[in-house]
Amino acid sequence: MCGIAGFYNAKGNYQQQKEKWTSVLVSMHECLAHRGNDESGIYLSDMAGLSHARLSIRDIVTGTQPIIRQKNGKEYAIVYNGELYNTGELARDLRQSGYEFSTTTDTEVILYAYMQYGASFVRKLNGIFAFAIWDDSKKQLLLYRDRVGIKPLFYSFVSGQLLFASEPKALFCFPGFTPRVSMDGMREVLAIGPARTMGNGIFDDVNEVLPGHYLIFSENTMSDHTYWDLFRAPHTDSYEQTVETVSFLLRDSVTRQMVSDVPVCTFLSGGIDSSIVTAIACRYMEKHGETLNTFSFDFKDNDIYFKSNAFQPERDLPYVKIMLDHYHTNHTYLECDENTLFSTLRDAVDAKDFPGMTDVDSSLLYFCSLVKKHNKVALTGECADEIFGGYPWFYREDLLSRDGFPWSADMSVRTLFLKDSFINDLDLAAYSHDRYQTSLNQAPHLSDETETERKRYNIAYLNIKWFMQTLLDRMDRTSMYSGLEARVPFADHRIIEYVFNVPWEMKYQNGVEKALLRDACKDLLPAELLHRKKSPYPKTYHPGYEKLLIAEMQHILDQPDAPVKTFIDTKKLETFLEAPTEYGKPWFGQLMAGPQLLAYFIQINYWMQKYHLNL
């Protein structure tokens, strides 16, 4: 994984001020150095500049970027962030077409594939990626993003020039580009957040390349091309055939993602998803005479303060131990205390450039920093619930029938301590519902679906397009902040395409959540773990954490220039701070309840201070 950035101007000549624009490119990759500090490089032509911060995973010696190649007297250059999982197949075909490789990196394969097949070549790729290609023969710059948005890619325009970067912070290195946020940006933060409307960069004039899209920039034009999207197709396989197909696709995905020139580890939470990935990875390593590194996460004193609720019925630790009794790994238990969790809230904003999933983000960011001390590449169990229907809103009628995003339908909690005038100006409910309805209108359906089936596929579509994207953003920023490459085997587009069209009755056999996934992997896991009820990512229940949040909010109230004071009603907030904590009624997802609401506004205040944002 890496950080990429650059700019393009069809009417410019950057070479005339080479020193200035070289300095800008250096600033951009220095701003992204946390994503990869092994090497850096730049490319500058008359019309385009490319910048790269490298995390060396494949071809450590000769894989330096940008990679530049010649054909028919014209230059082609690429900067790339990601991993390609079908490099061998593509390289073989390109060699047969006469291309000679001077590296073993997937970056060179991608550039040659573009040169051979043209802009739509991206359909041939299996991987996670965001990359930019400069085509001197056509005087075009192209931006590509993987099918489901695992890797980020933002862009903007300043004085007629295109800017792009892996993270918004690098865009702000460009001369004259100052971060600003409008009321619509605040509607994203307060009505949609910590999710984000796809393509919306929250900051004014900042956009993101949509998943499954590529953009072509040339003189006077920008064209947006969709190369992949979810589609509906009749599912004709029997349940037995469906189980067999899922079993193959998942094992093939994990095996492909074990390819690396540095050791790979896994996150082992004790849930079925990470345990499945760990089991397959462990067997792969054993075949190669190696032992897999695994890591589990928990919070200090959760054995004392843990509170069982409908969303989080039990702790993970006992199931980690069950898994370790069945598979031999080098396991490390990682723990975070309430002080570290609190102090890292701001780091999580630095990593993401936006307010996020508060302590869910900050804890994962901290854990990833510890994992990076041992490994550069980690496989995770992320995305299984969105694809296989593991969340309560897939099957609980009260959640399934909500007229709004099922993980965030109630706006009342979000406005608990906002000024009445600000609430009226924002109209958060209308903003959220508009985004919800727009998404539903784009969901694919078959003409002969029943109303119940239509509702089920709507939920599946929303989860993949919205909730999964939020978790993928979280995973990318929290891992790459420490230069850790996190891979997501469940998000292989072949798995998503196939399982999306599987009827709900197969995914929920005999009333068991994710029954299809369990049946496809029943040979991999011990029975106690295979039949475990879903439990989400762990969170702290330590009362000391809430005390830290309350003290910080009171400190913010004491600051006359605190940005959030322009829209917070002080009396409402003070009443909230005196109220008893509620852990079992999340306002976003399954983990964000009372303490996380306080943490979210602490992050908003820090974010506005950091970027000098005023409404």
Which active-site residues does the annotation give? 2
Element (H, E) at 467: none
Of 557, 556, 550, which Cα lies nearest the Cα of 598?
550
Structure tokens at 170: 């690098």
Q: Is the Cβ–Cβ distance between 367 and 316 less than 8 Å?
A: no
Q: Is the Cβ–Cβ distance between 473 and 352 less than 8 Å?
A: yes
Radius of gyration of the chain (CA): 24
CA atoms of 18 and 42, how far apart (whole Å): 12
Residue with tokens 């991999």: 524
CA atoms of 126 and 200, how far apart (whole Å): 25
Of 157, 186, 154, 156, which Cα lies nearest the Cα of 614?
186
CA atoms of 18 and 15, how far apart (whole Å): 5
Of 387, 560, 379, 385, which Cα lies nearest the Cα of 475?
379
**How far apart, in Å, are the Cα atoms of 201 and each of 181, 387, 529?**
10, 25, 40
Q: Is the Cβ–Cβ distance between 411 and 429 less than 8 Å?
A: yes
Amino acid at 241: Q
Helix (H/G/I), strand (E/B), else coil: 590: coil
Q: Own/partner pairs for 569-577, CB < 8 Å, 24+ apart?
A: 569/417, 569/418, 569/419, 569/420, 572/416, 572/417, 572/418, 573/417, 575/417, 576/416, 576/417, 577/550, 577/553
How many other C-beta atoms can be found within 10 angstroms of the C-beta atom of residue 533?
Answer: 10
Helix (H/G/I), strand (E/B), else coil: 42: strand
How many other C-beta atoms can be found within 10 angstroms of the C-beta atom of residue 444?
Answer: 13
How many other C-beta atoms can be found within 10 angstroms of the C-beta atom of residue 60?
Answer: 15
Phi, psi of 225 (to 5 degrees): -120, 130
Edge-to-edge order in the sheet of strand 48-54: 39-44, 48-54, 2-8, 161-165, 154-158, 207-208
Q: Is the Cβ–Cβ distance between 271 and 535 less than 8 Å?
A: yes
Q: Is the Cβ–Cβ distance between 11 and 160 less than 8 Å?
A: yes
CA atoms of 500 and 452, how far apart (whole Å): 16
How many other C-beta atoms can be found within 10 angstroms of the C-beta atom of residue 527?
Answer: 9
Amino acid at 432: S
Q: Is the Cβ–Cβ distance between 57 and 486 less than 8 Å?
A: no
DSSP structural state of residue 348: H
